[in-house]
Structure 1
Amino acid sequence: MGLGDQTPDGTANVFDADDVLFGKLRPYLAKAVRPGFGGICSTEFLVLRAVEFTPEFLRYVLLSDEFVSAVDSSTYGAKMPRANWEFIGNVRVLVPPRNEQVSITAYLDRETARVDELISKQELLIERLGEYRVALITRTVTRGLPPDAAEAAGLDPAPPLKDSGVEWLGKVPEHWDVVENRRLFDERDERSDDGDGELLTVSHLTGVTRRSEKPDVGMFMAETLEGYKRCLRGDLVINTMWAWMGAAGTASEAGLVSPSYNVYVPDSQFVLPEFLDMAYRSRRYVVGMTSESRGIWSSRLRLYPQHFLSLVTVVPPMNEQQAIVAYVADIEDRVKRMASAVRDAIERLGEYRMALVSAAVTGKIDVRRSAVDSRGGV
C-alpha cells in the first residue's frame, strides 16, 4: 500500500502537527521527523500526511532500511542526489492494524532511545578524547612532560618554575628560554613567478595540509598560483585572518600558500618545527596570537607580521623538545586509535538501530512478546 498524501510544492512547504517530513536530498541519510507542530519548511523536505498510518508509525517506516534503500536507488543527480514524490508515493509498504502500529511504535520508542543513549555516550567519549589531546599539548609546550613521562625520558619530573613575564603564557620551567619572535623567526616573502608548486592551506582543524586533502573553509581556487607565497619544509605558516582560531602550523613539505598568509622561517638550531607546530596550535598560544591581532570583531581580526614578531615563544632545550614531540606523537596515535574504535562502535550501533526499526515495521519482531519481556514476564 502507498504512503499517503503529499502537500503541494511551492517556494516553501507548509506542514501540520501530524505531518511527517522526509529529506529528499541524499535520502541515504535517512532524515525523517514528525515535528509535532505546524510550520513552513524547505522544499528539500517532502511533507507526508498519513492516511493508513499513525504519524509516529509512518516516521519509523520512512527510517527503515528497506524504504531508505528503495528510495536511494531511485535518486537522480550525481553530486546532489534527490528522490521525488512520483517514486516515493508508489513505494509499497506493509500496513498493520492501527493497534499494532501503536504497539510497534511504543516498542521502537523504548528500544531506539536505549540505542541513542549509547551513541550519545560514545560521542561524548570522542569529545573527551579531543579535549584530553588539546589539554595535553598545551601542558607539554608550556610546562613540559608529565612527571612520570619526564622521569622515563631522563628529565627533571618537577622542574622549578619562573614567571614568563607574559600574561597569556604564565609560568614556565625555569631552564626554558622565553624568546621574542623577532629573534627566533625571519619572515619569508618569496613569490612564485610561474605558480608551479603544491598548493597548501592552513586551518585551525588540520594545520598546514595540501589543498587537495583538506580544503580550507571558504577558500576559493584561483585561476593561477602566480604571485603566491613560497614556503619550505619546516616553515611556520599562519593564516592571517584565522590566527585567532589557531590556524597555524609548520609545513611538512615545500609548496605555495595564499598571499594573505604569512610565512616565517624559524631558527632550526634552536627550535624543532614539530615543537612549533604543537605550540602555535595550542590554547595558550592561540590566546597570545589573538591578543596581538588587529581589527574589529573576531571575523575581521588579522595577525600581521609586526605583531607576530612582537610575541614570544617559550623554547625548551633541544633534547627536551625531542622528548616532548615523541611523547605527544605516541599519545596522539593512541587517541586516534581509540577514537577510531569508538567511531566504529557508533557506526555499528547506527546499523543496529536501523535494522531494529526495519524488523519491527515489517513484523519480523513480535513486539507483543517483547512488551511482556520488558515488564518482567516470561
Structure 2
Amino acid sequence: MSKYKRYERYKDSGIEWIGEIPEHWEITKLKYICSESAVYGLNESAENYVEEGVRFIRTTDIDNKGNLDNSMGGVFLPEEKVKGYILKTGDLLVSRSGSLGTSLYFDEDKYGKCSYAGYLVKFRANSKNCPKFLFYFSKSNIFYIQIQLALVSSTISNFNGNKYANMILPLPSYYEQKAISNFLDQKTAEIDSLIADKEKLIELLQEKRQAIITEAVTKGLNPNVRMKDSGIEWIGEIPEHWNLRRIRYLANIRNVKASDSDIDKTYVGLENIESKTGKLLTNGDDEQQFVGETANIFKKGDVLFGKLRPYLAKCIIADFDGRCTSELLVLKTTSYILPKYLHFFMLSPKFIDVVNSSTYGAKMPRASWDFIGNLEIPLPSIKEQEDIVEYLTEFISRIDDLISDINTQIQKLKEYRQSLISEAVTGKIDVRDYVVSN
C-alpha cells in the first residue's frame, strides 16, 4: 500500500484489532448510522415459489464479491407475499446463517424488484451516511474479525442480526465515505477485471489440454502419417496402421466388494476426483468412509472412471491399493493397452461426449459398463502408446505448472483486493484526492 499516502494525523481507536484511525474519524456501531437496522427477511418455503414474480434473494444467491448470482436464474414469490420486504437501492443484506458475513449491496437498476429471505438481515444507511461505505465495511477484515469474536460466545445456529447491529466501525464524514466508496468501486473493478482475464486464460489452457489429449489418442503424434476412415462417426479418421478394439477386450471390470477388513484402505469418492484433469484430491489423512455402504476394491494401476454424471470427466489411475464408491468403474487393463493410455483416452472430450450421450436417469444420469465396454476405440501399438503417454505426461505437466502459477497470481490479487478494502475503510490510506477516471 506504499503507493497511497496516509492521513497527516492519527489517534488510537482504543480497539486493538482496529489500531490507529485518522484523528478526525469517530468510532461507532453499525446500528447508530442506519435508519433500519438488522431487519429480518421473509421466511417462505420452496413450495411457494412461482415461475414469475418478485425475485426472492437467498444467501446462496450471493457470490463472494457481493453480487447477485444470476447463473441459476433465481427463485420468485408472488408480489402479494412480499409486501413490506421489498428492497431499495443502497440496502445492505448480510447472511446470519451458513456462510456468515456474506453480503450484498442492493441496486434496483441492476437487479430489478427483489425481496429477501429470513436468513438474511437488512441494514439501510441513514441520510448522513453513504450506503456503499457500509457495504465495503462488510467486506473488510475488521468485519470478519468481529464475526469470529462473536462466535467465541455464540454458534452459527444462533448468530443473529443484533450481533451485526452492534459491530464497531471507524467512521469518517459523508464526503470521505463517498470518496472511499468511489475509490474502491474503481480499484476493485480493475482488480476483478484482471482476475477475470487470468481465469479466462486458465479456461483456454484447460481447453488446450483437452484438445491435445484428444488429438494424440485419436490421431497420434506424427502429423504426416497416412490416415483412414475409422468408420466411427465420433472418432473420425485414425492413422492407417492403427486398429479398432472394443474396450471390453482391453480392460476387465474388477468387481470386488470391500468388507469390514478393508476399513483401513483409503477411500476414494467422486468428490475426491478433479473434473477433466485426472487428479486425485485426497490422501491417507482424509476422513474415511465406513464400509457399511457399498464400496469396491481397486488395485494400484487400475483405471477408475466415474459412471455417474460422466460429463464431469472424473477418471484417475490408482497409485495405491484402496476402496472406492460403487459409482466408479474399476478397470484392470489387459496386455493390449497401457493403463495410462486408457486413462488419457477416457479423459478425452470425444469419449466423454459419447459416453454422456448414453446415460440413463434424468436426476442422476449414469453410464453403463455394457455401453462403455462395447465401444470401439482406436488402438496403436504398445510402443506408440508409450510414446503418446510420455508426450502427454510432459505436455500436461507444463500446462499444469502454468495453471498453478496463474492461480497463485489470482490468489495474490484477491488478497490485495481484500487488503485494499480494509486499509481504505479503516483510514490507513488517504484516498480523498484520488481522481476516479471515467
Q: TM-score, normalised by structure 2?
A: 0.71
Q: 1:336 aligns with which of 400, 418, 426?
A: 400
C-alpha change, 1:135 and 1:213, in structure 2 (3 Å) is farther
C-alpha change, 1:190 and 1:64, in structure 2 (3 Å) is closer
Q: 2:202 aligns with which of 115, 126, 140?
A: 126
Shift of 1:179: 1.1
1:152 corresponding residue in structure 2? none
1:231 corresponding residue in structure 2? 298
Matched, 1:49 2:124: yes
C-alpha change, 1:178 and 1:214, in structure 2 (3 Å) is farther
The alignment partner of 1:63 has SS state of coil
- How many residue pairs align between the two structures? 355
Any conservation in 1 of the 2:40–2:119 contact (CA below 8 Å)? no
Larger helix percent: 1
Q: 1:11 aligns with which of 43, 47, 50?
A: 43
C-alpha change, 1:337 and 1:23, in structure 2 (3 Å) is farther
Matched, 1:277 2:343: yes
The alignment partner of 1:331 has SS state of helix
The alignment partner of 1:353 has SS state of helix
Shift of 1:139: 1.3
Matched, 1:188 2:254: yes
Comparing 6-15 with 351-360, greater Cα deviation is found at 6-15
Q: 1:363 aligns with which of 427, 430, 434?
A: 427
Shift of 1:250: 3.5
The alignment partner of 1:371 has SS state of coil
Aligned equivalents of 1:368, 1:260: Cα separation in 2: 58
Aligned equivalents of 1:176, 1:290: Cα separation in 2: 25
- Give the letter aligned to residue 415 of structure 2: E
Aligned equivalents of 2:130, 2:283: Cα separation in 1: 48
The alignment partner of 2:434 has SS state of helix
Comparing 318-327 with 83-92, greater Cα deviation is found at 83-92
Q: TM-score, normalised by structure 1?
A: 0.81
Q: 1:199 aligns with which of 264, 267, 272?
A: 267
% identity of equivalent residues:
27
1:286 corresponding residue in structure 2? 352
- Give the letter aligned to residue 137 of structure 2: V
What runs of 5+ residues in structure 1 fail to find an aligned partner? 146-155
- Give the letter aligned to residue 310 of structure 2: A
Aligned equivalents of 1:108, 1:245: Cα separation in 2: 38
C-alpha change, 1:183 and 1:223, in structure 2 (3 Å) is closer
The alignment partner of 1:367 has SS state of coil
Matched, 1:110 2:186: yes
Q: How does 1:1-378 map to 2 (within 5 A)?
A: 1-4=28-31, 5-8=37-40, 11=43, 14=85, 16-17=87-88, 18-25=90-97, 31-37=102-108, 39-51=114-126, 52-75=128-151, 83-145=159-221, 156-196=222-262, 197-202=265-270, 203=273, 205=275, 207=278, 209=280, 221=289, 223-224=291-292, 228-259=295-326, 261-267=328-334, 269-291=335-357, 293-297=358-362, 299-371=363-435
Aligned equivalents of 2:305, 2:42: Cα separation in 1: 46
C-alpha change, 1:258 and 1:118, in structure 2 (3 Å) is closer
C-alpha change, 1:8 and 1:81, in structure 2 (3 Å) is closer
Any conservation in 1 of the 2:303–2:318 contact (CA below 8 Å)? yes
- Give the letter aligned to residue 318 of structure 2: A
Shift of 1:182: 3.2
Shift of 1:275: 0.9
Any conservation in 2 of the 1:204–1:281 contact (CA below 8 Å)? no
Deviation per residue, 1:314-344 (Å, 9 max, x gap): 2222222222212222222222222222122
- Give the letter aligned to residue 346 of structure 2: Y
